[in-house]
Each structure stands twice: as C-alpha cells, then as structure tokens.
Amino acid sequence: MRLDKFLKISRIIKRRTEAKKACLAKCVKVNDRIAKAGDEIKIGDEIEINFAHKILQARILDVPLKNIPAEKAISLYEVIKEIKKEKN
C-alpha cells in the first residue's frame, strides 16, 4: 500500500493530500529514510512523522486491503515513541 494512503486509512494524518504534503516537506521517514508519498509500506516497517507539535514513531502492524472503520484504525500500528516539542 502507498504510504500516503496508509497514513490516511490509519488516521495518523486525516487527509491523503495532507499526507502527500508532509512527504513533500520531508517530514516523514520510513525505516530511517526520507519517504515519498508513493513509497510502498509493509508490515514491520517503522515510520516517523515530524508534526508541528510532536514527533511520532510507530511500527506498522497491519496493512488493510481496503478502508476500515475509525475505531479499528489504531490497530494498524503501535506507537514506539511520541515526543512533544517545546513551545518557543
């Protein structure tokens, strides 16, 4: 599955266009490499997303074949680390 689609389906990022923008801004890494929106992800990959107020590191547990209900989205990944950024 494409990275941008996974980020949207898992509800890590709410919209696919926003996921694409994050990738273009080089704010997303997969397995410690800067990722593109079209990169294929698989179970076991580790993603890191540098949001404005936090950095999220997560491991992919499942890659669904289609959209899933919002309450099941959290089961697609496990959070490894979440670091809140300091306000200036």
Query: How many domains does the chain contain in total?
Result: 1
User: Exposed, middle or buried by CB within 10 Å (0-12, 13-18, 19+), for 84?
Assistant: exposed
The one-letter code for the residue type at 4 is: D
Q: Tokens 């801004």 label which residue? A: 25
Provide the residue range defining the domain that includes 19. Answer: 3-84
Q: How many helices (DSSP H) and strands (DSSP E) are in the chain? A: 3, 5
What was the pLDDT predicted at 16? 94
The pLDDT tens digits along the chain (88 residues) read 999 999 999 999 999 999 999 999 999 999 999 999 999 999 999 999 999 899 999 999 999 988 888 889 999 999 999 999 887 6
Contact 23, 3 (CB under 8 A): yes
Q: Is this prediction's pTM over 0.85?
A: yes
CATH number of residue 29's parent domain: 3.10.290.10
Q: What is the helix (H) or strand (E) element at residue 73, kind and residue range?
A: helix 70-73
